[in-house]
Structure formats: structure tokens, C-alpha cells
């Protein structure tokens, strides 16, 4: 079964909008686990506009499932990951002022950088995943850089899915097949939702993990967090 990792960035966004500690990000991580999530994902950015570096430190001791930290491996991020030692680090090519992730790595143009950073994390015993567009060449580049997994950037799939599901999934199947061929684990994330998740995983059932935050938190406003996680797991 594909695992569900709940991205709790949006919970932190709500907290930060008002100040204080409501909602409690650490408690939310605990609740997500208790409600059945297989992992917790956080994406700390340099401006700490949602998840803060201290949140990452606070969450790690209470996580009993997988902990995935994603972000651009600038020096401060790399130091944080090496300090906390999560189950997985996902390398994402975000600029410092980017609202949300909107593209994967060019693993060919950035081959040496990615090779060096993958080596750093793997020497610390941290599984390393590289965020890529659904492109077989980029998948092969991630393998050459020493990654353990790739995470396919699924926003293009989510955008096209309502009008043409078959066309939407086609490039992802090819990229996923390439990942399996070269021996990479396979993750997926960005704009996956209750509407499109089941179809994605039915056609790419060897997906190891999906990371879902924005849509899941939006659904939880209406369904409640426990019921929302149940429905997402049912899709898987």
C-alpha cells in the first residue's frame, strides 16, 4: 500500500497568522499519526512563514512514524536536517521567496551539487529523495546523483485530471516506470486530493509514498481531520 505522509505546513500557517500556539503544530502531528497517517512532512523555508526550524526540532522526538523534511538544501536547511536526522529528506529547488513548489530539479544541470548533497545526507543515514518533473531523463539524473527515491511533482497531473485523466497520468506512468527500472523508490506530491488520488495510485501502484498538505487541510475544515485522513487512506 502507498503510504500517506501528511504535510502540516498549512497548520503552521494558521498559527502564524495570529501568533501564539493555536493550532498547536506538534499536537497536530501527534493527532495525524493517531488518526492513521503513515508519516509527517514539513517544509521549513528560510523566512519561516509556516513551519519554523524550531517546529522541526520539536516534532522529531514525538514522531513514531516516518518524518520527512523537504526543502532547498541551503546551508541552514542542511544543518537542520543533519541535526534532526529525519527518516527522509526531500530536496526541492525552491527559491527563498517562492510561494509554493512549482517545478522539479534539473538533475542534469545540477548533477554535481545533487551528488554532493545526497552523499552528505546518506552518510548520516538519511534516506534522500529528489523532487523532479515527470521526465525520464530527470529520473535517471536523480539515480546518477545517488538518490534513494524521486518525488514526482504532480501539479500538472492535478490540473489536467478533471478534463482528461488518461492524458494527465501518461507522463507520470513513464517517469514512474523509469524509476522502477533504475531501482529508485517512488514518491509523489503537490495538489493530490480526494478527487484525483485514487486514480493516480491505481495506475502507478508501486508509488511508495504520497505527501499531501494543502488539499487535505482544506478538506479537514469540512470533514474534520480524523475523517479526512481516513478518506485519503481509503483512496490508497
Catalytic residue among 38, 50, 66, 190: 190
pLDDT category of residue 104 using cuts at 50, 70 and 90 = confident
The β-bridge relationship of strands 3-7 and 88-91 is unpaired
pLDDT category of residue 97 using cuts at 50, 70 and 90 = low
Whether 103 is a known active-site residue: answer no
pLDDT category of residue 41 using cuts at 50, 70 and 90 = very high
pLDDT category of residue 165 using cuts at 50, 70 and 90 = very high
Decide if pLDDT at 98 tops 90: no
Q: Which residue has the cell 522526538?
A: 61
Decide if pLDDT at 126 tops 60: yes
Catalytic residue among 43, 66, 140, 151: 43
Mean pLDDT over 50-71 rounds to: 96
Mean pLDDT value across the chain:
95
Q: Enter the DSSP assignment of 62.
A: G
pLDDT category of residue 102 using cuts at 50, 70 and 90 = low
Decide if pLDDT at 67 tops 70: yes
Decide if pLDDT at 101 tops 80: no
Decide if pLDDT at 175 tops 60: yes
48 dihedral zone (left: phi>0; alpha: psi -120 to 50; beta): left
Q: Enter the DSSP assignment of 71.
A: E
pTM of the model: 0.94
Whether 79 is a known active-site residue: answer no
Catalytic residue among 38, 50, 70, 209: 70
Dump pLDDT digits (tens) for 134-149: 999 999 999 999 999 9
SS3 label, residue 183 = coil
Name which of 59-63, 102-106, 201-205 the model is least confident about: 102-106
* pLDDT at residue 142 in the model: 98
Cell representation of residue 123:
552518510
* pLDDT at residue 141 in the model: 98
Whether 70 is a known active-site residue: answer yes
Decide if pLDDT at 186 tops 70: yes
How many angstroms separate the Cα of 155 from the Cα of each of 50, 188, 220? 21, 10, 20
Decide if pLDDT at 38 tops 90: yes
Decide if pLDDT at 66 tops 60: yes
Q: How many CB atoms lie within 10 A of CB 173?
A: 14
Share of the chain above pLDDT 70, in %: 97
Decide if pLDDT at 42 tops 80: yes
The full length of the chain comes to 236
* pLDDT at residue 163 in the model: 98
Amino acid at each position: 500500500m502507498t503510504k500517506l505522509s501528511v504535510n502540516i505546513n498549512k497548520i503552521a500557517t494558521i498559527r502564524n497568522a495570529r501568533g501564539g500556539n493555536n493550532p498547536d503544530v506538534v499536537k497536530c502531528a501527534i493527532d495525524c499519526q493517531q488518526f492513521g497517517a503513515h508519516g509527517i512532512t514539513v517544509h521549513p523555508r528560510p523566512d519561516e512563514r509556516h513551519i519554523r526550524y524550531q517546529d522541526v526540532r520539536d516534532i522529531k522526538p514525538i514522531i513514531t512514524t516516518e518524518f520527512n523534511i523537504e526543502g532547498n538544501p541551503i546551508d541552514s536547511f542542511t544543518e537542520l536536517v543533519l541535526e534532526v536526522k529525519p527518516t527522509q529528506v526531500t530536496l526541492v529547488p525552491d527559491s527563498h521567496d517562492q510561494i509554493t513548489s512549482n517545478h522539479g530539479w534539473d538533475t542534469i544541470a545540477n548533477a554535481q551539487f545533487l551528488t554532493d548533497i545526497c552523499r552528505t545526507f546518506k552518510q548520516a543515514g538519511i534516506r534522500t529523495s529528489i523532487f523532479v518533473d515527470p521526465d525520464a531523463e530527470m529520473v535517471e539524473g536523480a539515480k546518477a546523483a545517488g538518490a534513494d527515491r524521486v518525488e514526482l511533482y504532480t501539479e500538472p497531473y492535478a490540473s489536467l485530471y478533471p478534463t482528461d485523466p488518461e492524458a494527465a497520468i501518461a507522463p507520470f506512468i513513464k517517469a514512474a516506470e523509469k524509476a522502477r527500472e533504475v531501482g529508485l523508490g517512488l514518491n509523489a506530491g503537490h495538489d493530490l486530493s480526494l478527487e484525483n488520488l485514487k486514480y493516480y495510485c491505481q495506475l502507478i501502484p508501486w508509488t511508495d509514498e504520497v505527501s499531501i498538505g494543502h488539499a487535505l487541510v482544506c478538506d479537514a475544515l469540512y470533514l474534520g481531520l480524523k475523517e479526512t485522513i481516513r478518506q485519503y487512506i481509503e483512496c490508497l
